[in-house]
């Protein structure tokens, strides 16, 4: 039977099962028995659990299980050296995990009715922008602007009548219709506002998900995704030198049973450098 994600995370920390090297996080204080080819543990032996191993629970433990071996060692080293606290390591991992879950949620959860309306409006705006950009490539656009400049000079010199000015201005205005910078700016601002509204709506829906025992810190949120403490802990974690140069968190999110979505499709490992697993 396939072990649960939490069991696998605990196995990675204790070295009792699975393939993860236990020396990453534990040291066995018992001496090997000279009469046996394999090390034996007597009833009086003890197993030393690392600071990080004691602190990891819930969502952070599941995220830790999906890290590559190098990242696990790096995180453990930062905690053991005192450069980051075990609490910061756990909260930082939970921050990264929630962000990965939110990214998957925004992609796979679909739109609410209100979000769908905003998405349709954004589509219209993009089409209008595309049409305006295409029309702006028409050589007549530049020619119309030049005619407008000449009309202004002619008006100043008095070489044309007011009736001629009005008629020519109407003609040039028709040629320039839809090309104005103010229209493009209006489209851009409205689309940006709608994108922000959709993001906020999805963040609010994500905040309403119940992650149960996996999330012990879901209040005082900054942007409805991570808490203030979690985001600050993640900053301290990266400032201390922690680097995650692969898609471990995306793999975690795919393997996580998000309420209402279930599990996703596990992506292949992707890294900016060779990793050991």
Q: Give percent helix, percent strand, percent coil of the chain, each to the nearest 5.
A: 60, 5, 35
Q: Give tens-digit pLDDT for 71-93.
A: 999 999 999 999 999 999 999 99
Q: How confident is the model at residue 128 (pLDDT cuts 50, 70, 90)?
A: confident
Q: Confirm whether 93 is domain-assigned.
A: yes
pLDDT of residue 1: 35
CB 71 within 8 A of CB 252: no
Q: Are residues 83 and 195 in the same domain?
A: no
Across the chain, mean pLDDT equals 75
Q: Are 102 and 211 in contact (CB under 8 A)?
A: no
**pLDDT at 4 > cutoff 80:** no
pLDDT at 21 over 60: no
Q: Is residue 9 domain-shared with residue 102, that is, in the same domain?
A: yes
Quick one: 9 and 106 in the same domain?
Answer: yes
Q: Are residues 218 and 89 in the same domain?
A: yes
The pLDDT, as a whole number, for residue 91 is: 93
198 and 139 together in one domain? yes
Same domain, 98 and 223: yes
Please tell me whether residues 106 and 119 are part of one structural domain. Answer: no
Residues 90 and 150 in one domain: no
Q: Are 164 and 91 in the same domain?
A: no
The predicted model gives 1-18 an average pLDDT of 38
Residues 105 and 9 in one domain: yes
pLDDT band of 127, cuts 50, 70, 90? confident
- Tell me what pLDDT residue 14 has: 37
Residue 216: band (very low, low, confident or very high) from pLDDT cuts 50, 70, 90: low
The DSSP annotation for 182-214 comes to HHHHHHHHHHHHHHHHHHHHHHHHHHT---GGG
Burial of 248 (C-beta count, 10 Å sphere; 0-12/13-18/19+): buried
pLDDT (mean) for 169-173? 81
In this prediction, residues 58-78 reach a mean pLDDT of 93
Q: What percent of the chain has pLDDT over 90?
A: 32
Buried b (16+ CB within 10 A) or exposed e, 41-74: eeeeeeeeebbbbebbbbbbbbbbbbbbebbbbb
For residue 266, tell me if it sits in a domain. no
Where is mean pLDDT largest: 33-47, 120-134, 173-187, 195-209? Answer: 195-209
**Structural domains counted in the chain:** 2
Q: What is the pLDDT of residue 16?
A: 41
**Residues 117 and 247 placed together within one structural domain of the fold:** no
Least confident of 100-114, 116-130, 140-154, 241-255: 140-154
**Domain membership of residue 133 as a residue range:** 113-202
Residue 197 lies in a domain: yes
Does residue 185 lie in a domain region?
A: yes
Which of 202, 225, 243 is the last residue in one of the domains?
202
51/189: higher pLDDT = 51
Q: Assess whether pLDDT exceeds 70 at residue 32.
A: no
Note the pLDDT of residue 108: 92
The dihedrals phi and psi of 158, each to the nearest 5 degrees, come to 75, 20
In this prediction, residue 75 carries a pLDDT of 94
Task: Assign 185 a pLDDT band (cuts: 50, 70, 90).
Answer: low
Query: What mean pLDDT do residues 155-169 have?
Result: 71
Claim to verify: residue 198 and residue 73 sit in the same structural domain:
no
The more confident residue out of 113 and 176 is 113
Q: What percent of the chain has pLDDT over 70?
A: 66
Instruction: Specify the residue for token string 């070489």.
Output: 159
Mean pLDDT over 210-221 rounds to: 65
């Amino acid at each position: 039977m396939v072990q649960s994600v939490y069991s696998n995370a605990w196995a990675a920390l204790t070295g009792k099962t699975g393939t993860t090297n236990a020396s990453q996080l534990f040291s066995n204080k018992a001496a090997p028995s000279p009469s046996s080819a394999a090390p034996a543990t007597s009833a009086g032996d003890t197993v030393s659990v690392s600071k990080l191993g004691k602190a990891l629970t819930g969502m952070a433990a599941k995220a830790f299980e999906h890290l590559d071996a190098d990242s696990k060692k790096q995180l453990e080293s930062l905690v053991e050296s005192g450069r980051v606290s075990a609490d910061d390591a756990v909260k930082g991992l939970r921050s990264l995990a929630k962000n990965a879950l939110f990214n998957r949620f925004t992609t796979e959860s679909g739109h609410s009715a209100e979000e769908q309306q905003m998405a349709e409006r954004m589509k219209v705006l993009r089409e209008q922008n595309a049409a305006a950009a295409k029309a702006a490539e028409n050589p007549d656009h530049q020619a119309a602007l030049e005619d407008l400049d000449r009309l202004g000079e002619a008006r100043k010199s008095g070489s044309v009548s007011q009736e001629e000015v009005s008629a020519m201005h109407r003609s040039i205005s028709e040629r320039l219709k839809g090309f104005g910078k103010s229209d493009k700016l209006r489209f851009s601002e409205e689309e940006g506002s709608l994108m922000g509204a959709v993001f906020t709506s999805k963040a609010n829906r994500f905040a309403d998900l119940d992650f149960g025992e996996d999330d012990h810190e879901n209040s005082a949120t900054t942007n409805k995704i991570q808490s203030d403490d979690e985001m600050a802990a993640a900053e301290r974690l990266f400032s201390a030198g922690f680097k995650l140069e692969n898609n471990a968190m995306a793999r975690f999110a795919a393997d996580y049973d998000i309420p209402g979505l279930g599990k996703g499709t596990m992506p292949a490992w992707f890294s900016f450098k060779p990793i050991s697993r």
